[in-house]
Amino acid sequence: MPSIGGIPLRGPVVLAPMAGITNSPFRRLAVEWGAGLVYTEMVSAKGLVHGSARTEELLSFSEAERPIACQLFGSDPKSMAKAATIIADYSPDLIDINMGCPTPKIVRNGDGAALLRTPSLAFEVIQAVVEAATVPVTVKIRSGWDEDSINAVETALLAQRAGAAAIAVHGRTRDQFYSGDADWEVIRQVKDALTIPVIGNGDVKSPSDARDMFQATGCDLVMIGRGSLGNPWIFSQAVEVLNGKEPFAVTPAQRVDMLLRHLDMLQVLKGPRLTLGESRRYVGWYLKGLPKAGLIRQKVARAETLSEVKNILQDYLSD
């Protein structure tokens, strides 16, 4: 089995951190279906240092989710170091530093992907967290800020020199956000330049994509983000393909059953009102491509209670 910094992983295909998505129920289902490593949603170092209840809530996880990395974002080395010491109380397996988030509210403060524009500061941040942390530290980056400043190899080498135990590379620039195609060649270049494990990320939407990324880049691990939305099975399916097998099929009934279970888990975490609000996107994810999916989405959009949503799905299941 692969490992990072001496921490054994469950397998070679891992779940990407996704803000507002990879909460505990999402992570638990990913682990059940073969994710080798999961991440918390990204957590603000400043929020953690200042005792934000929401920030602390994002760091909570169950033992069933291990191995797990807590992901931090911030650009002040002192705050990031302090946050790393606070995270020790939660006992994660790894700490991951987010240097890839492209959203304006993050980068305008110099955080996330903005650190790609200041490699020397990125080095200071990583080094500060490594020195303060009690667990291995990893870093997630993009290929660069824009097409005129592709510096993933430079940034990755700095991360390695600062003591990072692994680095994840999303093969898009910050300016691309999630559009266009991911550049897997950049991932290969980073892998060729480093001695620490490299995690490839970007455009892994199917089990065969995971195999293709391994072959094209030589990366040590493959990270799946949007390809796992409403599709926790993709991790096990990818491992099957890597082992030379045909991926198992998932029936429409299994999709609906898993959706109902996922909503039940969310209800325990967030309560029925918040889960009702979020149910619409989960229905869209799980039922994508299935017969009458559009009609079901319309019915769910009009539902006034979570129980009504579940009844709609049960009726669809029995049709």
Instruction: List, by residue number, the catalytic residues.
Output: 101
Name the nearest CA neighbour of 125 among 88, 158, 91.
158
Which alpha helices (DSSP H) does 75-225 contain, by range? 77-87, 104-107, 119-132, 152-162, 184-193, 207-217
Identity of the residue numbered 177: F
Half-sphere exposure of 77 (CA within 13 A, CB side): 12
Is 121 strand, coil or helix?
helix
Distances (CA, A) of 123 to 163, 166, 187, 293: 9, 14, 20, 47
Distances (CA, A) of 261 to 26, 29, 132, 243: 11, 10, 39, 29
Cα-Cα-Cα-Cα torsion 304, 308, 310, 314, nearest 10 degrees, comes to -140
Q: What is the DSSP letter of 272?
A: H
Residue with tokens 């300016």: 175
Half-sphere exposure of 114 (CA within 13 A, CB side): 14
